[in-house]
Amino acid sequence: MRFSLNTTIINPINGKKPKNAVILCHGYGGDGKDISILATYWKNFMQETIFICPDAPEKCAVNPNGYQWFDLIDESLEQILSKSLVAEIKLNQLIDEVKENLNLDINKLALVGFSQGCMISLQTGLKRTDQISSIIGYSGKIISKDHLKKNIKSKPNIMLMHGDRDEVVNISSFLEAKEFFNDIKYPISSKIFKNCEHRIPTEGSSLGLQFLKKNLY
C-alpha cells in the first residue's frame, strides 16, 4: 500500500481487511514513527483498525531529522495560515487515498493529532465537505479562529486534551479553542491533565482509545 506521504503503517492485528482507519499526525519536528507509539497500544483494543502515521510533508526547519506540517519560525499569523493551507491539501490527499485504497466510508476514518498535528487535523477535518468520524487533538490549538469559523463544512466528533503545565503550547490555547466551539454551539469533549507538560499522558491515551472506539465501532 503506497501513499503520497511517507507513512508508518500498523495493520489490524486480526489480519483481516480494516473496517476503519485512524490517521495520526505528529508534532513539529517529529515523524510518523514517534506518534505510532500510540497506535501500538491502541491496536490491541481496536483489532479491526488500520493506523496510518505519516511523516509531515516538509523537513523541519530546526530539526533536520524530523518533519513539519508547516514552518513556525518567525512568521506572522497570516504567513502561518498560508503555509498551513498547503499542508491541508497534503493531508486531504492522504485522507482521500486511505478512503479509496481501503474502500472505507468516510465516517469510518478518524484523525488524531499532537501539537502541530492537532492544529492541522482540526483545520483539515472541519473544512472537509464529507464528514469524517472524529478528531482527537492533544496539546494543540486552532491556527486561525476567523478562518476556521468561515470555512467549517462538517462537524465530526471532537475531543481536545491538554496539560495544564504545557510550556510549548500554553493551556490558554486549549481554553480559547473550547470558547470558540462553545460560541458556535459545537459541542465537544475535553480534558485538562493536572501537572502535565507538553506530552500525552497515559490517561490521555486511554481516553483517546475510548473516544475512538465509541465513534468508530
pTM listed for this prediction: 0.97
Half-sphere exposure of 153 (CA within 13 A, CB side): 10
DSSP of 125-154, one letter per residue? HHH-SSPPSEEEEES---S-HHHHHHH---
Q: What does the pLDDT average to over 165-191?
A: 98
pLDDT tens digit sequence for 56-85: 999 998 998 999 999 988 779 999 999 999
DSSP of 62-111, one letter per residue? S-TTSEESS--TT--HHHHHHHHHHHHHHHHHHHHHHHHHTT--GGGEEE
Residue pair 156/147 in contact by the 8 Å Cβ criterion = no
**pLDDT at residue 167, rounded to an integer:** 97
Residue pair 116/30 in contact by the 8 Å Cβ criterion = no
**pLDDT at residue 152, rounded to an integer:** 98
Domains delineated in the chain? 7-216 (3.40.50.1820)
**pLDDT at residue 87, rounded to an integer:** 98
**pLDDT at residue 2, rounded to an integer:** 87
Residue pair 122/139 in contact by the 8 Å Cβ criterion = no
pLDDT tens digit sequence for 2-46: 899 999 999 999 999 999 999 999 999 999 999 999 999 999 999
Single-letter amino acid code for the residue at 170: N
Q: What does the pLDDT average to over 101-110?
A: 97
Residue pair 123/205 in contact by the 8 Å Cβ criterion = no
pLDDT score of 203 more than 90: yes
pLDDT band at 1 (very low <50, low <70, confident <90, very high): confident
Interior CA angle at 184 toward 182 and 188, to 5°? Answer: 45
